Structure 1
């Protein structure tokens, strides 16, 4: 097993390892901007099942899991020089709300398959519980249909996560290609008082089931606040996330200003120093669990986004920090490769509508429907000048409630209706659009990563 020794991860033979790779977003934890649906995953699945029926919806979603990552994908990542994949998962694959505390063993089927494929190519996996029952943060990526992180309010949800991690840790306790466990992605505990004691409890439970694997623990407030840790745990990496403001969909020029804040290479380094201060002060390994810019399709602006990424990778190299770039595969916003074929032919117009409305937070410029939402922002600023809700303030909260919840949920029936009338072969073809052989490769990004990692970007351009 890999293990922590001071500021480094070491192999069983005490050779240092710097984990550098990518996140497998949108696979066992689906996200709206990654596969093109609106709102949150559970709501989308329910809407699609309402059109297809349970059996045929299962056919589509299981085929998508199979096609989304295969041996070809593992080979591509290994060829780039990557040695790690962070695998986000949803609790719903392993336990249902209708039957809490009952582990669904079938949930391990695809996860075992991909961990095995990666291991065969010399790539470690970090298992990341990205969606917890009750939702551990305020946004869609924890499968949250609201803006309330109920996980921190109810002991019931916390008990279920402890039980689930005991089962996961027991299942993988002897697997050397599992680098470790990332048990809570981007916690958003508004009080900051529940998350620390919960970690204390969770660490003890996981260690009892599996005393050897590394724990990768995110800080509070989306892995930016580490003051919540009351003690240092052995064999643990404290994970920071390091998205650059200029790299968001609403980002400005680089170097340049984004919403009044200047961003250049110096600011990127100062931000990383601030976000990794806890790790440096405690003498623990540096690992960036998520980072990476959003691409726009504008060659000039995207060239700036590639420079942001290049500068961040140089900064991480200078600090001997590991990383997992977000994300591997999607419908064209951020991935190393993106889907093509029947899926984009059928859903491309719908995805364009979502973009026009700014219905996905990750792809929103915060300027869509300005004639409608702009006056609402002004009203909130005027009438409630002191209102600054957790985690990011009034402007983001208003957008989340209107664009990313109200608009997004209103779009669910339209998305689901696009499945109506399709036969089994057509459903399979939609899912297979995410297979690597049907995807478009983002060549500049692949070349950039290969140059940083000493690999090759390989394969034909589509």
Structure 2
């Protein structure tokens, strides 16, 4: 009995002797922490580019299918005070799926006395919006709302400016800022994408393309997964897309090929039927997606009739061509479409002045309900409910 018991213990005894004889480094070598894996729900909401479309993840309900972003500009603490959850709920209730957040990498709203600390800006300004989007199942486009120049004169925006175009040192600071932002959000699927520059102006197509391409390549060093949105040299007008990107549209993001070409148009910049020709020609020639990340009603210098006709034409084009859009910009969490402020026609002058949530909500809200894709759910989520 004793001999039998010793035979059973002998292998364990020898194993202990081997451990005792092993070098100390072998005993004290740290164990690698387990790698955190994204939840199935988060894997399912990643968006990407495929050909001339934005598509959902194969892991989402219904698999890979076209996704049309439809949303509104959120110019936080500039046009409207920060109220992130209320904004997300307001947008969700109106069938939007995306908020385009204006943020800054050099100076807050172009003010030289408010220089940006990028890490603090991410923590205090951007993170709360992205977290609110997560809670409400919305996407966020991160829009660096700058111009590749010194501050512009907003009263004459979209006209020739005297603002100095950025020098090399400033461009590099801007690129470094984007790298910090992309590093922070590279694993966050609630960020739909990075819009590198709002509206470059008074710059050649090649100069705009070179600066934006440099920034794109720098971001790809730290984030190969997110969509990147590229504007154009002339206030991001649709008529400038081919001039700016025609040479490299299909290859600029190789091998990732995960870019969307953004455009902005306003009343009398171009008529909607001209915008349609510009964007469809570019999209179809290069097999790339296009997205209107800014359009709306310039009620401060155009009549209500001009603004309404333009918006109606634009949402008609978007619906016809399955092109997503972001209307500019949320002013209040209240819809007043029949009494909205218009300086030219002296409508809604008050007192008090009456503003729409974003003029004209009787046009864009029904259009959003028709065109906006539902927020993706993980495969099997519907059956589990």
Please indicate the TM-score interval, normalised by the length of the shorter structure. 0.5 to 0.7
Per the alignment, residue 237 of structure 1 pairs with 260
Per the alignment, residue 70 of structure 1 pairs with 84
3-state SS of 1:186 partner: coil
Most deviating of 311-320 and 100-109:
100-109
- The equivalent position to 1:19 in structure 2, one of 50, 58, 69, is 69
Q: Structure 2: how far apart are the matches of 1:194 and 1:171? A: 28
3-state SS of 2:197 partner: coil
**Does the 8 A contact of 2:330 with 2:357 survive in 1?**
no
Per the alignment, residue 446 of structure 1 pairs with 361
- The equivalent position to 2:296 in structure 1, one of 282, 288, 292, is 292
**Does the 8 A contact of 1:80 with 1:450 survive in 2?**
yes
Question: How far did residue 295 of structure 1 move?
Answer: 3.6
Q: 1:106 to 1:277 in 2, by over 3 A?
A: same
- The equivalent position to 1:127 in structure 2, one of 142, 145, 166, is 142
Q: Structure 2: how far apart are the matches of 1:106 and 1:297? A: 33
What TM-score does the superposition give when structure 1 sets the normalisation length? Answer: 0.56
3-state SS of 1:77 partner: helix
Residue correspondence of structure 1 range 427-446 to structure 2 within 5 A: 441=356, 445-446=360-361
Taking only aligned residues, the RMSD between alpha carbons, in angstroms, comes to 3.9
3-state SS of 2:189 partner: coil
- The equivalent position to 2:281 in structure 1, one of 269, 277, 288, is 277
Greater length-normalized contact order (CA 8 Å, ≥ 6 residues apart)? 1
Question: How far did residue 273 of structure 1 move?
Answer: 1.4
Report how many aligned residue pairs link the two structures: 298
Judging by fraction of residues, say which structure has more helix. Answer: 1
- The equivalent position to 2:93 in structure 1, one of 79, 96, 99, is 79
What TM-score does the superposition give when structure 2 sets the normalisation length? Answer: 0.66
Q: Structure 2: how far apart are the matches of 1:78 and 1:241? A: 23
List runs of 5+ in structure 2 lacking aligned partners.
1-45, 59-63, 346-351, 371-385
**Does the 8 A contact of 2:85 with 2:132 survive in 1?**
yes
Question: How far did residue 228 of structure 1 move?
Answer: 2.6
- The equivalent position to 1:118 in structure 2, one of 125, 133, 136, is 133
Q: 1:297 to 1:125 in 2, by over 3 A?
A: same
Question: How far did residue 297 of structure 1 move?
Answer: 12
- The equivalent position to 1:223 in structure 2, one of 236, 248, 261, is 236
Q: Structure 1: how far apart are the matches of 2:329 and 2:66? A: 25
3-state SS of 1:116 partner: helix
3-state SS of 1:220 partner: coil
**Does the 8 A contact of 1:24 with 1:85 survive in 2?**
yes
